[in-house]
């Protein structure tokens, strides 16, 4: 066995522009594989070691590639989905096995003298270096660089270099394509992925020279997947190359002898493609063409393209922090992975884990529209356009689902890959109808921020119309004329099948109004969809009469009808090991108690702040803080935004750090299954909407900036139509600078401003003179305090309860 595995005390260095891992902890491999995952929204490569083993969880993913699996029910019911969809580990092209005098380079054996991996957000590459002595005493150095191209959608590449420290030594490099890899079994956690054995059936195999191609087809979903590799190999004068293939493997081998100090370098180009409809030759040829283009570009060309792409992204979209280096690292980590998730998704979903792991079976939820798209709207609107176009392509299935449920319009799925509902649990699935309004809100935000009127006419209008029709048929006017929406589940999945959930009703109200306004602006297109003045008037009337519950006795909004009449959950006698509650208590008990899984009413106050007074926000926030256990990673960012708005800046700082560090610190204990994309995006929202005070409810942006004591400065840039706005906030001054575009109207603390290029506008940053008393959370559920030296958190442990989305 190995003489030592170089296990670090803290796995990642704090670096403002990257993640660096010194040493190697084999027991935490799966977590590091998620953190070091590379993606472009089409291809996803987990950060597995180049040689393939040891691994925590191997993973190579193509967005939209899945297999069908049955959804068994002990007792079936009308409207239950019949089958589920699970992302599959497709053909792995990352593997480069290395033999040193016939001994495999395996870090479990021999002596690992040094090992380091790093991910620099500015270059978009995973770097690795290792020095290893084999059991027979031969020492080598290995250097590798890996990227998934953000400019060539179908391409990934690896540069792999081996140096002999004490030659001569015979080196064999085996560069492989491997399908149907054996995967570790699941742990029974419903948030993890189903493990599907050998989902790929071979259709074609070919290997010749330095190139290999495999084509497979999924057994039940009928998707055709092609993967190809090609190579450039440089080394001593003699390097022998062989090519071979079998149904599930393609291998290019290079053999040479290195003297001490000599190196062999292998550049591996990978290409992937898939289709549900195209022929085998068409999919194969697509991959062959992508390999040809990658080889033409060359390794250095791909590196240069990647860096140029990211230089532009960071110049226009960076979030800068002074006073907390760890938080700076975390927010750039968040932006980088959110960018990777959406950059080249191109009419495919953005899953809850991106393409970093198989958690939640690779499904997309409301997370995308509610958390990820708000960030991408202002830094990469093209990705938002594509994500919403994907939703539009699923409209036929959403209409069928609505008809099955006896509703008009479209009912979008709670969880899906292709567009069908894949949630087998109605109360926390289909009953969460608010996803329709989340999609509608994303449409309105995108059109407002880009002025993409063509998109509004061809895509946005139909999404707004069909979701408005759903709300109008789902709700009804009661005896006194109020419009009620009953039997639904809001964001808080510990309160299911509720009447008049405030978040749902307020979001539906916005949806109905937006649909009516959009139909008025696009009358010809609306008429083609069957919208007439009577239907639009019915939407406006329902919106105007929307019922929003309010508890006059307590002076707060109940999360839904009767919520504040429920018995309080017994927090005092709930031990820490019983969280998350959904894994330890029956749902019927959760549903009838006052306990909140994640921000619900508090989220309503963030997205519909116009529907609440400042006093109501403060009272509601204090009330729900003592009930919210944050058994979802979606919660902390929302609580951060509202804590900042009500003046509890230090609490907001604590929650921001929790959202941002969810994966770098593995706060939920499940980063192994993939990164929490919504929490990462939420960390950006917490900074920009929380401390920056950004609100985008209208055509004009508004800001109410304020900083916690732990931060000295916060700066961010955002694109809005043809403008690029930079906001710089210190404790004394907030400055608005227009870096691109004509004059831009906005407001600062309610004061209208007009910012012109070359003429920055500064205003005092407000100070919270008398901050309210810090809100109280359930015992043991408090966020870790962020008040330490140099912005590093104190050593009170963060509660180890944070579940995935």
Give the chain's end-to-end CA distance (angstroms, integer).
39
Per annotation, catalytic residue among 176, 181, 493, 805: 493
3-state secondary structure (DSSP) of residue 677: helix
Name 76's Cβ contacts closer than 8 Å, sequence gap at least 6: none
- Judge whether 521 and 444 are in contact, CB under 8 Å: no
**Peptide bond preceding 580: is omega within 30 degrees of 0, i.e. cis?**
yes
Geometric angle at alpha carbon 511, from 394 and 644, rounded to 5°: 110
Rg, C-alpha atoms of the chain: 27
3-state secondary structure (DSSP) of residue 105: coil
- Judge whether 256 and 236 are in contact, CB under 8 Å: yes
Long-range own/partner contacts, residues 788-792 (CB < 8 A, 24 or more apart): 790/323, 790/324, 790/325, 791/323, 791/324, 791/325, 791/326, 791/327, 791/710, 791/711, 792/324, 792/326
- Where does 589-687 show beta strands of DSSP type E? 593-594
- Where does 449-565 show beta strands of DSSP type E? 476-477, 483-484
486's tokens: 């009953």
**Peptide bond preceding 188: is omega within 30 degrees of 0, i.e. cis?**
no
- Judge whether 669 and 340 are in contact, CB under 8 Å: no
Only one residue has tokens 């992508």, namely: 290
**Closest Cα partner for 327 from 724, 713, 753, 774?**
713
* Cα–Cα dist 532/530, whole Å: 6
581's tokens: 């509650």
User: Is 534 known to be catalytic?
Assistant: no
Over the range 475-495, which residues count as b (16 or more CB within 10 Å of their CB) and which as e? beeeeeeebbbbebbbbbbbb
CA 315 to centroid of chain Cα atoms: 22
**Closest Cα partner for 12 from 116, 157, 148?**
116
3-state secondary structure (DSSP) of residue 217: strand
Cα diameter, the chain: 91
For the beta carbon of residue 262, count every other beta carbon within 10 angstroms.
17
- Judge whether 296 and 288 are in contact, CB under 8 Å: no
Active site residues: 493
């Amino acid at each position: 066995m190995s003489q030592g595995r170089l296990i670090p005390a803290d796995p990642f260095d704090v670096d403002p522009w990257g993640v660096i891992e010194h040493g190697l902890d084999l027991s935490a491999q799966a977590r590091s594989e998620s953190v070091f995952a590379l993606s472009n929204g089409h291809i996803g490569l987990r950060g597995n070691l180049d040689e393939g083993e040891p691994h925590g969880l191997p993973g190579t993913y193509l967005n939209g590639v899945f297999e069908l699996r049955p959804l068994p029910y002990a007792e079936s019911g009308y409207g239950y989905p019949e089958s589920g969809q699970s992302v599959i580990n497709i053909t792995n092209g990352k593997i480069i096995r290395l033999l040193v005098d016939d001994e495999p380079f395996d870090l479990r054996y021999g002596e690992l003298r040094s090992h380091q991996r790093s991910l620099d957000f500015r270059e978009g590459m995973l770097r690795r270096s290792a020095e290893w002595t084999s059991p027979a005493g031969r020492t080598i150095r290995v250097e590798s660089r890996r990227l998934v191209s953000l400019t060539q959608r179908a391409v990934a590449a690896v540069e792999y270099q081996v140096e002999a420290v004490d030659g001569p030594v015979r080196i064999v490099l085996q560069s492989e394509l491997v399908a149907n890899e054996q995967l570790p079994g699941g742990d029974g956690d419903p948030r993890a992925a189903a493990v599907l054995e050998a989902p790929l059936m071979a259709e074609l195999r070919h290997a010749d020279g330095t190139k290999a191609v495999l084509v497979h087809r999924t057994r039940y979903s009928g998707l055709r997947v092609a993967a190809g590799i090609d190579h450039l190999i440089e080394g001593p004068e003699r390097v022998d190359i062989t090519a071979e293939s079998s149904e599930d493997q393609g291998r290019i081998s290079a053999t040479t002898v290195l003297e001490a100090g000599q190196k062999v370098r292998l550049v591996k180009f990978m290409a992937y493609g898939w289709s549900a409809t195209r022929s085998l030759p068409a999919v194969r040829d697509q991959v062959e063409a992508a390999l040809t283009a990658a080889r033409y570009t060359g390794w250095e060309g791909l590196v240069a393209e990647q860096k140029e792409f990211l230089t532009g992204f960071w110049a226009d979209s960076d979030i800068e922090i002074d006073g907390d280096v760890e938080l700076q690292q975390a927010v750039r980590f968040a932006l980088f992975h959110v960018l990777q998730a959406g950059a080249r998704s191109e009419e495919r979903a953005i899953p809850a884990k991106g393409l970093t792991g198989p958690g939640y079976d690779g499904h997309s939820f409301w997370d995308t529209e509610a958390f990820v798209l708000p960030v991408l709207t202002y830094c990469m609107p093209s990705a938002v356009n594509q994500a919403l176009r994907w939703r539009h392509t699923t409209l036929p299935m959403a209409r069928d689902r609505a008809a099955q449920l006896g509703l008009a319009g479209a009912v979008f799925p709670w969880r899906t890959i292709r567009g069908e509902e894949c949630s087998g649990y109605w109360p926390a699935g289909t009953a969460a109808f608010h996803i329709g309004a989340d999609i509608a809100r994303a449409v309105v935000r995108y059109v407002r921020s880009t002025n993409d009127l063509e998109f509004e006419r061809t895509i946005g209008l139909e999404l707004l119309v069909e979701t408005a029709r759903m709300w109008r048929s789902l709700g009804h006017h009661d005896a006194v004329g109020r419009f009620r929406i009953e039997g639904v589940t809001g964001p808080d999945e510990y309160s299911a099948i509720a009447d008049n959930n405030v978040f749902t009703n307020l979001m539906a109200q916005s949806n109905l109004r937006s649909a009516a306004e959009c139909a008025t602006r696009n009358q010809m297109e609306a008429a083609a969809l069957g919208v007439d003045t009577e239907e639009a008037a019915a939407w406006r009337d329902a919106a105007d009469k929307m019922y929003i519950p309010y508890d006059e006795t307590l002076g707060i909004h109940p999360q839904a009808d009767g919520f504040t009449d429920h018995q309080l959950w017994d927090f005092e006698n709930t031990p820490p090991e019983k969280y998350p509650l959904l894994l330890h208590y029956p749902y019927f008990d959760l549903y009838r108690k006052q306990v909140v899984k994640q921000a619900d009413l508090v989220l309503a106050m963030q997205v519909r702040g116009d529907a609440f007074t400042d006093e109501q926000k403060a009272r509601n926030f204090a009330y729900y803080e003592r009930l919210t256990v944050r058994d979802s990673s979606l919660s902390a960012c929302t609580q951060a935004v509202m804590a900042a708005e009500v003046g509890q800046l230090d609490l907001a700082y604590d929650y921001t750090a929790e959202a941002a560090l969810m994966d770098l610190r593995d706060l939920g204990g499940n980063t192994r299954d993939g990164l929490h994309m919504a929490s990462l995006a939420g960390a950006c929202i917490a900074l920009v909407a929380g401390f920056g005070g950004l609100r985008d409810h209208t055509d004009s942006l508004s800001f109410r900036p304020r900083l916690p004591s732990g931060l000295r400065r916060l700066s961010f840039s955002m694109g809005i139509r043809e403008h690029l706005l930079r906001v710089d906030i210190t404790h004394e001054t907030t400055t608005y600078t227009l870096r691109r575009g004509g004059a831009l109207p906005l407001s600062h603390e309610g004061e209208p401003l007009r910012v012109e290029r070359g003429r920055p506008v500064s205003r005092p940053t407000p100070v919270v003179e008398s901050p309210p008393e810090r809100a109280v959370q359930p015992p043991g559920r408090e966020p870790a305090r962020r008040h330490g030296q140099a912005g590093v958190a104190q050593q009170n442990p963060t509660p180890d309860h944070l579940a995935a989305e």
